[in-house]
Amino acid sequence: MLADRAAIRHFDRVLASACMEYCWVESLAQLGASLQGGAVGVVVAEVSGLNADGIRLPACVRQFCERDGEGEGAQPVIVLLQGDIAYGTLVRHAEISRDQGLDVRVVRREGRMSGVLEILRGILSAPPKGRTKRRHNGYGSLKESDLRRGLSSPGEVRIVLQPQYELASGLLAGAEALVRWRHERVGEVPAIVTVTLAHRHGLGDALFHHVAGLTASVLARLQRAGEGLRIAINVSADVLCAPQFVPRLIGDFGRLGLDAKRLTVELTEDMPADDLLCLSTALNLLRLHGFGASMDDFGVGNSTPELLTRLPFDELKIDSRYVRRAAIDPAARAVLASALQLSRDLGLRSVAEGIETPEGLALVTSMGCQIGQGFLLSPPLEVGEFQGELPRLRRLS
Ligand code: C2E
Ligand code: MG
Ligand code: MG
């Protein structure tokens, strides 16, 4: 979809000489008809004031594909050409579309013909499975009974530990415990699926205490070995507010003789903080008993500045979406900088999660962030690997 006749003629010449099969469409409605049956591999559209359909294209493709027999057809790759729109704005639109499972590429105004051709050649030379297909993963078939069984079968629901580092010194500071579930039929279940299933069936607190128990065992072993590392575990607002939450955690830790300051509880953003008094009571109790309290995923969902100003956190964990984009996106960088300033002003420890690139690491370090976590530093590790590899993990290489 291009608005400019001269550009269309130019594309015609180039695509014909590259022997590619294509057609022009003038409206999204016309495109919808072509998309039916999944015969279209790539859709190219300019995004400009003259062609506002371009910006609507990802949302429309998602809608067409949802209508076209749930998950059966291959989704086309979408190529958005920069017209009279700022490049950064278009990149952000593409990122939001990709979060929705669409394959969206962006080509700059300058040299856009060669940019499009490069993408088309890449797609044509990729094996068909490289095309975006909606995956059937079977998670939807998981039931309450599956999770109940998983929680009571030793080893089925386990934790992995992702190391966290002090950025100034490169020394290991601790780890975050993340839930993992290996289901016999479905295979490895993503944390977010496990957590959502637990919430849906009122098993959020059972999952939390299962994870806390596994974490306490690791901390006990570390404490016996004289290791002063801290481990963070995740909790949603509704679980934190359950009446027996804090007494049970204190009891479990006390019985093992564990030092409360080795555990940080991260409040995740997934549940609304409906009852602020309840949250304030639970977090204050945790802090009074010496546990750490972290505001996780700051800047997205329910993890808001309002909560930060009112609840007794000692750590601010900036959401990975800002950290991952900061090196390339000035808007994300600005939010990251102000979150770091906020944590300094409030006397909180700052943590950047989602550090994936050396540029990202250099940026958060130069901005004064204290702790870092991300695939670049270390992926989440099985407990045995974490403990066995401690000498190597102790310092960033
Ligand atoms: P989270 O607490 O923000 O945890 C960080 C997530 O980011 C983890 O995904 C981790 O594997 C992933 N991650 C780490 N480094 C990178 C990186 O460099 N790039 C990217 N793109 N991702 C990175 P995971 O394990 O899938 O967990 C997802 C979310 O599920 C967690 O986000 C947390 O909200 C929730 N979750 C995980 N374990 C538990 C749990 O035991 N209880 C509860 N309530 N929620 C949990
Ligand atoms: Mg977390
Ligand atoms: Mg997080």
How remote is the CA of residue 87 from the centroid of ligand 2, in Å? 32
Task: Compute the average pLDDT of residues 216-239.
Answer: 94
> Is residue 355 situated within a structural domain?
yes
Nearest alpha carbon to residue 317 among 293, 333, 334, 301: 293
Query: Is the beta carbon of 264 within 6 A of some atom in ligand 1?
Result: no
Residue predicted with more confidence, 130 or 248: 248
Same-domain status, 152 and 91 = no
CATH number of the domain where residue 87 is located: 3.40.50.2300
Find, among 115, 56, 58, the residue nearest to 81 by Cα.
115
Domain encompassing residue 302? 140-393
Does the C-beta of 160 come closer than 6 Å to ligand 1? no
- Tell me how far apart the alpha carbons of residues 338 and 334 are, in angstroms, rounded to a whole number: 6
pLDDT band at 284, cuts 50/70/90? very high
Same domain, 213 and 328: yes
Are β-strands 157-166 and 381-382 bridged in parallel, bridged antiparallel, or unpaired? antiparallel
- Give the count of alpha carbons within 13 A of 195, CB side only: 20
Residue at which a domain ends, from 100, 130, 160? 130
Q: Which residue, of 98, 130, 162, is where some domain finishes?
A: 130
121 and 151, same domain (yes or no): no
- The angle formed by the CA atoms of residues 151, 293 and 241, to the nearest 5 degrees, is 60
Is 279 among the domain residues?
Answer: yes
Nearest to 395 by CA among 160, 162, 225, 167: 167
User: What residues contact 176, with CB distance under 8 A and at least 6 apart?
Assistant: 161, 162, 164, 231, 232, 233, 234, 266, 373, 380
User: Helix-strand-coil percent breakdown of the chain, rounded to 5?
Assistant: 45, 20, 35
Pair of tokens at residue 358: 């050396």
Given the CA of residue 178, which atom of ligand 1 is nearest to it? 38
Total-model pTM = 0.82
Give pLDDT tens digits for 370-393.
999 999 999 999 999 999 999 999
Q: Is residue 24 situated within a structural domain?
A: yes
Q: Whose CA is nearest to atom 42 of ligand 1?
A: 234
Mean pLDDT, to the nearest integer, of 115-129?
A: 76
pLDDT bucket at 314, cuts 50 / 70 / 90: very high
Ligand 1 and 164: CB distance under 6 A = no
Q: Whose CA is nearest to atom 26 of ligand 1?
A: 191
* Per-residue pLDDT tens digits for 257-280: 999 999 999 999 888 777 889 999
Q: Is the CB of 375 under 6 A from ligand 1?
A: yes
| 3-class secondary-structure state, position 163 | strand
Is residue 297 packed enough to be buried (19+ CB in 10 Å), middle (13-18) or exposed (0-12)? buried
Distance of CA 225 to the CA centre of its chain: 33
Q: How many domains does the chain have?
A: 2
Give the nearest ligand 1 atom to 355 CA.
18
Q: What is the pLDDT of residues 143-182, one digit of tens each?
A: 999 999 999 999 999 999 999 999 999 999 999 999 999 9
What percent of the chain lies above the pLDDT cut of 90?
A: 58
pLDDT for the residue numbered 132: 45
Instruction: Please say if the pLDDT value at position 29 is more than 80.
Output: no
Whether residue 104 is found in the same domain as residue 146 = no
On whether residue 287 sits in a domain, the answer given is yes
Q: pLDDT band at 139, cuts 50/70/90?
A: confident
Residue ranges with CB less than 5 Å from ion ligand 2: 234, 266, 296
Q: Report yes or no on 208 lying in a domain.
A: yes
C-beta separation of 76 from 43 below 8 A = yes
Is the CB of 212 inside a 6 Å radius of any atom of ligand 1? no
319 lines ligand 1 (CB under 6 A): no
Residue 135 lies in a domain: no
Asked if residue 104 and residue 144 are part of one domain, the reply reads no
Domain end among 77, 101, 130: 130
Distances (CA, A) of 288 to 37, 241, 246, 285, 296: 61, 16, 11, 5, 20
CATH number of the CATH domain containing 350: 3.20.20.450
Residues 92 and 152 in one domain: no
Give the model's pLDDT for residue 207: 97
Instruction: Classify residue 236: in a domain, yes or no.
Output: yes
- Is 93 in the same domain as 211? no
Q: Are residues 20 and 145 in the same domain?
A: no
Both tokens of 127, joined, read: 């094996």
**123 and 156 housed in the same domain:** no
Average pLDDT over residues 284-306: 93
Q: Is residue 38 scored above 70 in pLDDT? A: no
Q: Does the beta carbon of 380 sit less than 6 angstroms from any atom of ligand 1?
A: yes
Residue appearing with tokens 């998950």: 71
Q: Is 174 in the pocket of ligand 1 (CB under 6 A)?
A: no
Question: Cβ neighbours of residue 59 under 8 Å, at least 6 residues apart?
Answer: 97
- What is the pLDDT of the chain when averaged over all its residues? 88
Ligand 2 centroid distance, CA of 319 (Å): 9
Indicate whether 131 pLDDT > 60.
no
Query: What amino acid occupies position 141?
Result: S
DSSP 254-303: HHTT--GGGEEEEE-SSS----HHHHHHHHHHHHHTT-EEEEEEETSTT-
Task: Look at residues 251, 250, 310, 315 and name the one whose alpha carbon lies nearest to residue 285.
Answer: 250
pLDDT over threshold 60, residue 297: yes
- Do residue 263 and residue 382 come from a single domain? yes
Across the chain, the runs of DSSP E, i.e. the strands, are: 42-47, 77-82, 104-107, 157-166, 172-183, 187-189, 230-235, 263-267, 292-298, 315-318, 349-353, 371-373, 381-382
- Give the confidence band of 9 by pLDDT, cuts at 50, 70, 90: confident
Confidence of residue 349 (pLDDT cuts 50, 70, 90): very high
Q: Which amino acid is located at 283 in the chain? A: L
Identify whether residues 218 and 104 lie together within a single domain: no
pLDDT at 1: 67
* 197 and 101 in a common domain: no
